Each structure stands twice: as C-alpha cells, then as structure tokens.
Amino acid sequence: AQSVAQPEDQVNVAEGNPLTVKCTYSVSGNPYLFWYVQYPNRGLQFLLKYITGDNLVKGSYGFEAEFNKSQTSFHLKKPSALVSDSALYFCAVRDSSGGYQKVTFGTGTKLQVIP
C-alpha cells in the first residue's frame, strides 16, 4: 500500500525567508510525486510533479521540490516566501508500477507567512 506523510500540521516563516514544507512517501514501485496548493474554500491547484530524471523539480510561483530516493522524501521549497504563499499545501503520490493506481494525498500542511 502507498502512503504519504506530511509531518508538520503548520509551518510558520517570515516573509522573505526561505521556506520548506516536508513530505515523505512510501510506495512499492517507483513514485510519481505531486504538490498541490489550496487557498481557503477553493479547490486544489497543481504546483509541480516528479516523474523521473532530475531530482530538483521547478514549478509554479517560484516553488521547487527536491526528490530524494534514499530518504523517500519530496520536500517543497521556495527561496523567499511571500505573504500570498500562505495556504494549505498537499503532497501526493502515485505508484508508477502496473495498472491503475490511485493518488494518495497527505493530510496537508498549513503554511503561514508572517509579514
């Protein structure tokens, strides 16, 4: 069975500082990994994904994520946080091996950027 863990319910960071939102995963095969962002009372918006290849993935709004196979992690990062980045962030994983595999979402991390 596949799973995703987001160990922090909330992350606080000062505006202008770098931010990291953590994600670890477990799959039996190779993973497809995704990050989504959700603003209050809205649907999720896709930020970026890892399929294969370069371990550093760049996405929307200046976000990037680093895939680490040995640590089974896919942390979301941004060099300089904006107040407008405050939102709920979800990591998700899908096993790439054989047939249809659903996407499993983490429980979400609330990012609060403090002016």
Partner 1 sequence: DGGITQSPKYLFRKEGQNVTLSCEQNLNHDAMYWYRQDPGQGLRLIYYSQIVNDFQKGDIAEGYSVSREKKESFPLTVTSAQKNPTAFYLCASSIGVGGASEQFFGPGTRLTVL
Binding site residues, partner 1, CB under 8 A? 9, 32, 34, 36, 41-46, 49, 51, 90, 94, 96, 99-103, 105-108
C-beta atoms surrounding 105 within 10 Å: 15
Measured from the CB atom, the residue of 9 and 70 that comes closer to partner 1 is 9
Minimum CB distance to partner 1 smaller for 41 or for 70? 41
Q: How far is the CB of 98 from partner 1 (least distance, A)?
A: 10
